[in-house]
Amino acid sequence: MSISLPREPDFDKAGGLVPAIAQDAENGEVLMMAWMNREAFQETLSTGRAVYFSRSRGKLWRKGEESGHQQQVRQILVDCDADTVLLKVDQKGAACHEGYRTCFFREVGPSETKIVAERLVNPEDVYKK
C-alpha cells in the first residue's frame, strides 16, 4: 500500500499561517515558536535558513537579518495533521529577541514566575533601537 504524503503543511487549514517550532538539532532544546506562511516555508526549504512570517510587521522575517542570530535548518518535520512545522536547527547566538538562547526562559510556578536562563546578549546592543 502506498501512502500519499503532503509536500508542505496545510496552510489553508488555519487561514494561511502554521506554527513553526525551532528546536536545537544537537540537544533537543525548544528555542522558539513563530509563524510560517507558504512563502516562508518555501524559502526555508530552498535556502536552508529559517524564515518566518512576522504577524506584527506583516512580512517575511528572515531569522537573524537584524541580529545576526541565524538558524541553519538541518531538518524540517511536519506533524500528523500537517498543520505544525518543526525545524531542527543550528542556532547562532540568541534565539530570543530578549537576548536569551531560548524564548522559553520564564518558569511559571504556583506562586511566582522566575527567569531560569542566562541572558546571552543585551537586546539594546543587538538591535540598536
125 is in an annotated binding site: no
The answer to whether residue 42 sits within a structural domain is: yes
Is 80 annotated to bind ligand? yes
Q: What is the pLDDT of residues 79-118, one digit of tens each?
A: 999 999 999 999 999 999 999 999 999 999 999 999 999 9
**Long-range contacts, stretch 55-60, CB < 8 angstroms, 24+ apart:** 55/17
Q: Which domain CATH number covers 66?
A: 3.10.20.810
- Going from the C-alpha of 45 to that of each of 66, 73, 81, 97, 106, the distances in angstroms are 21, 9, 19, 23, 31
Which region holds residue 68: left if phi is over 0, alpha if psi is between -120 and 50, else beta? left
The verdict on whether residue 96 carries a ligand-binding annotation is yes
User: How many independent structural domains does the chain possess?
Assistant: 1
Q: Which residue has the higher pLDDT, 11 or 126?
A: 11
- Position 4 in a domain: no
12 among the known binding-site residues?
no
The residue assigned the cell 501512502 is 3
